[in-house]
Amino acid sequence: MPTEELNQFDIDRTRGDFRYDVQYQYDAGTGLTHQTIDYIVDAKGEPDWIRDWRHKALDVFLSKPMPTHWASKDLENIVFDNIRYYLAGGQKPSRSWEDVPEDMKRTFERLGIPEQERKFLAGVEAQFDSEAVYSNIKKAVGEQGVIFVGSTDGLKNHPEIFRKWFGKVIPTGDNKFSALNSAVFSGGSFIYVPPGVKVKHPLQAYFRINAENFGQFERTLIIADEGSEVMYMEGCTAPKFETATLHSAVVELVALKGAKIQYVTVQNWSPNVFNLVTKRAIAHEEAEVKWIDCNIGSRLTMKYPGVVLKGRKARGEVISIALANDGQHQDTGAKMIHAADETTSNIVSKSISIGKGRATYRGLVHVPKHLKGCKNNTECDALLINSTARTDTYPAITVRGTGNACQHEASVSQISAEQIFYMQQRGLTEAQAMSLSVNGFVNDLVRQFPMEYSVELKRLIDLEMEGSVG
C-alpha cells in the first residue's frame, strides 16, 4: 500500500478527548443509596413498578461482594461512593437536530453525529451522560411499524412490549454490575421490529461520557419478532479525566422464530474508563444472533456477549477484536449456551497487545448431553507487538453426548521483524509497517463490520500503532 494511501487513515487524536461544561438540570450527586433511586425515578417520572424494581436491584447490588476472581485487582480501584449516578439536562429527546441544546450539540458535532445521521436513512440516537438528547427515526422505518426510542420512552409508552421482556434475558441478580445497572439504568435504546419486517438500514446509537466521576448505565432492549431482521450499531467515546469513570451497561436481545439480529459495537473509551458490560441474547427456533464487537481503549474492559440458543436450529455468532495498549486490560470473550437440538455457534476472537497491554480471551461453550446435532467452532488468535505485552486464553468448552461436534483453535504470534524490514525497504516508516501488519491480522474480521465502522476501526488501529514503535 503506497504511503499516500496510508495517510488517508490519519485520525485526529483529540476527537474523543474533549469535554464541555454543561448546566445539568438534574444531578443526583455522588454516592448510591435508596434516596438516589427515588431521585432518579422522580426526575424521570417513572411508574411505581420501576421504582420497586430499582430498589430491589439496589439491595441485590449491595448484598453481592465485588468479584474476587479475574481482574479483581483492577476492580478494587472503583469507589462507588465517589460516582455520580444520574446527570441530565432535563430535555426530552429531540426529533430535530436544531432543537438539541447548544452545549450538547457542540459535543456531538465534534463526533460527527450529524454527518452519520445523514448517511444512514434508518435513524440515530445520541446519548449524552444519562439521557438521550437527540433521537430521530426516518419516516420509511416508522411506517414499517418499527419502534426505536430510548429506554425511558419504551417503558412509558410501550409497556405491553417492554415489560414482557425487560430483565428476562439478563436477570437483576446475574452479577454485581447487572444489579447496579438495574438499580440506576438510564438511557439506552428500546427497539421492536414487527413480524416479517426487514429493516434495510442500520439503527445507530452513540454514547458519550462528558462529566468527571460519572457512571453511565444505559440499558438496551431489542426485540425482533418472527421472521424480522435488524442491525443495530453503537459507538462509544469519553474524554480523558484523571479520575476513574464507570460504564456499566446491560444489553438484552430477543430474536423470535426465524428472526435475525446483528449488534455492532465499536468502542474507543479513554484510558480512565472501567467498561463493565453484560450483553446477552435469546435465539428462538431458526433465529440468528450475531455480535460484532471491537474494543479499543478503556482501563479495563470486561465484556462477554452471549447467546442462549433456545430454539431448534438457532444460530449464534460472536466476532470480536480487542486492542490493549499500555496500562490497559481487554478481558473479552463470548458465551454460547446450547439449549436445543441442531443449534450452531461460532466464536472468532482476535486480540492485539502493545507495550505492557494485556488482552484476555475468556469463553464459555456449553452443550448438554441430551442434545443432538449441535455444532460449535471457536477460534482465538492473539498478536503480540512487544516482548512486554501479554495475552491469555481461557476457553471453557463443555460438550457432552455423542451427537454433537466441537472444534477449537488458538494461536499466538509476534510481528515479524523480517516483514517490517521488507516493508521499510519499500518506503514505509516503521509505524506504517506495523500498522499495516496489524490491519492485515484483523482484516478478515474487519470486513464483516459495516463500511463506515471498518474505516474508523482501521484509523483507530493506526493511531494506536503510532506510539508502539521503539
Please report which confidence band the pLDDT of residue 259 belongs to, taking 50, 70 and 90 as the band edges: very high
Please report which confidence band the pLDDT of residue 103 belongs to, taking 50, 70 and 90 as the band edges: low
Nearest to 362 by CA among 329, 384, 338: 329
Residue for grid cell 473509551: 269
List of residues 6+ apart from 470 with CB closer than 8 A: none
- How many angstroms separate the CA atoms of 328 and 335, rounded? 23
Mean pLDDT of 56-76: 83
- Which 3 state secondary structure label does DSSP give 169? coil
pTM of the full structure: 0.84
- How many angstroms separate the CA atoms of 63 and 341, rounded? 38
> What is the Cβ-side half-sphere exposure of residue 321, based on CA atoms within 13 angstroms?
26
Nearest to 120 by CA among 200, 58, 54: 200
Dump pLDDT digits (tens) for 380-432. 999 998 888 999 999 999 998 888 999 999 999 988 788 888 898 888 888 88
- How many angstroms separate the CA atoms of 336 and 317, rounded? 8
- How many angstroms separate the CA atoms of 57 and 133, rounded? 26
In the beta sheet, which residues pair with residue 127? Answer: 132, 207
Nearest to 252 by CA among 323, 319, 188, 202: 188
- Four-residue CA torsion sign, 351, 301, 209, 355: negative
329-338 vs 203-208, strand pairing mode: unpaired
Dump pLDDT digits (tens) for 35-50. 999 999 998 888 999 9
Query: Residue 50 region, left (φ>0) first, then alpha (ψ -120 to 50), else beta?
Result: alpha
pLDDT at 18 > cutoff 50: no
Nearest to 229 by CA among 258, 253, 251, 204: 258
